[in-house]
Amino acid sequence: MLDLRLTRAARPAVQLRRLLVAAASAGTGFLLLSCLGYALHHPGAAGAGALRLAWCAVPVTATVYLALAVARTDPGTRPRPGLSALGLGPARLTAISCLATALATTLGSLLALLLFLRLRGELPGMRSAGARAAFLAVGEPLPLPATLTLLAVVPAVATAAVAVALRPRDPRPVRRPQRRYLPFGRSGAPVRADGTVPAPGHPEGAPAAPGGTADPEPAPAATLAERAVLPGLPWAVALLAAGLTAHAYAGRTPPAHAPTFATLPGEAGTILLGWALTAVGLVLAAPGLTHLCGRLLQCARPGALRLLAGRILMTEAARIGRPLGVVCAVFAAGYAMTTLYDAPARAFGPLSALGALVVAGCAVATLLTSAVQARQGRAETTDALLRLGAPTTVLRGAAALRAFALLVLFTPLTLAVAALAALPLTR
């Protein structure tokens, strides 16, 4: 009962984010049901039905990504002192997050089922609103096991992802084992277990590095995090090159229309692989580019405004960079398909528009949710700056400067990736 109260009694902003998850789940569930309807209406076109179902992996992934971001920003499930005495330890709070995610996604799946049945005219007192649509399969009975299985995909995958990502971890730091010393050797100096002798003048209980110098101090956690962000750039460049190569391979025989559900299986598979590699490359590159953007803001004698904006970008590069890379990948794909492809207007039907809306909406909502999470993470720093007398205009100006710098950096990158990916298919 306490779990349900914590899930229900949340702030309006939290409930709004949960409703966004439900809306995304409804759109994805409707796309999955449309694949079932198409298969029922065209029993001999197994390849086309499987291709439609494969394309649905993109909105499913986007919906799960949004659900995970919303679960991470839920303040009601954040560990706080005193909750363990009430039986709300880390494991219980993770269960509450999974419960909230399961409720939101299940609500969306039920809404998708009601809309699908409404369009088919199977609800009492309603007529079919789309009898000409092939994906509705009007007149064909819906198999109950297949329908329930498709509707359970998003709730099951999203709940499992939240459970894995928010699982309780051991808060104690990992300590490296201390080197033990054997009794005194022949020369009277202490001998280590590995057979080495510490340097003269070095304390007996402290380890010494080869050559008689002490071991260097461990790097701070912030420095390690910044270093971990930058090594992803070489892998990102390699994946981007592989994705553009896949697009070039698919462009050897230019298609007559943009890649939709009706695209040939081999051609669509190559294009989907190319966009998958390109998207992963952008996601891996975005944190490093965000870190470099923050470093560039602090060049050439920065003032307080640029220094604050740059340090925040460098600190939050991993948290903001990945959702920003997803947004760049989504808009690059959309720009390539709608602007650079020589495609007729009829190539984009209602299902393609719904899929694009779900994916783009989830990407933007995830980015905004990650920004909220980053703001919550630096709440103590912001309060400290305000107590020291920092004006609110400086904080707002730093936020606007960060947004402008990211826009200047990632907009040309997105357009360049879209142009390079679509260039082999437009010749």
Q: Residue holding tokens 């750039």?
A: 233
- What pLDDT score does 260 carry? 45
- Is the pLDDT at 128 greater than 50, yes or no? yes
Two tokens at 326?
Answer: 């997803």
Work out the pLDDT band at 422, boundaries 50, 70, 90.
confident
Spatial contact of 75 and 376, defined as CB atoms under 8 Å apart: yes
- Is the pLDDT at 309 greater than 60, yes or no? yes
Two tokens at 254?
Answer: 């230019």
Q: Residue holding tokens 């142009």?
A: 419
Q: 3-state DSSP call for residue 323? A: helix
Which residues share a beta bridge with 181? 192
Q: What would the mean pLDDT of 221-234 be, rounded to a whole number? A: 68
Q: What percent of the chain has pLDDT over 70?
A: 70
Spatial contact of 403 and 321, defined as CB atoms under 8 Å apart: no
- What pLDDT score does 213 carry? 46
pTM: 0.78
Q: What would the mean pLDDT of 402-418 be, rounded to a whole number? A: 92
Angle at CA of residue 209, ends 205 and 214, nearest 5°: 65
Which residues share a beta bridge with 43? none
Alpha carbon distances (Å) from 306 to 267, 301, 318: 47, 9, 20
State the Cα–Cα distance between residues 100 and 116, nearest whole angstrom.
25
Residue scoring higher pLDDT (390 or 114): 114
State the Cα–Cα distance between residues 39 and 324, nearest whole angstrom.
36
- Is the pLDDT at 25 greater than 50, yes or no? yes
User: Which are the contacts of 371, defined by CB distance < 8 A and separation ≥ 6?
Assistant: 320
State the Cα–Cα distance between residues 407 and 229, nearest whole angstrom.
20
- What pLDDT score does 205 carry? 47
Spatial contact of 71 and 26, defined as CB atoms under 8 Å apart: no
Two tokens at 200?
Answer: 């003269």
Average pLDDT, the chain: 78
State the Cα–Cα distance between residues 297 and 308, nearest whole angstrom.
9
Q: How many Cβ atoms are within 10 Å of 123's Cβ, its own excluded?
A: 11
- What pLDDT score does 40 carry? 85
- Is the pLDDT at 320 greater than 80, yes or no? yes
- Render pLDDT for 385-401 as a digit per residue (tens, 0 to 9): 888 888 888 889 999 99
Q: What would the mean pLDDT of 315-343 be, rounded to a whole number? A: 82
- What pLDDT score does 359 carry? 93
Work out the pLDDT band at 341, boundaries 50, 70, 90.
low
Q: How many Cβ atoms are within 10 Å of 105's Cβ, its own excluded?
A: 31
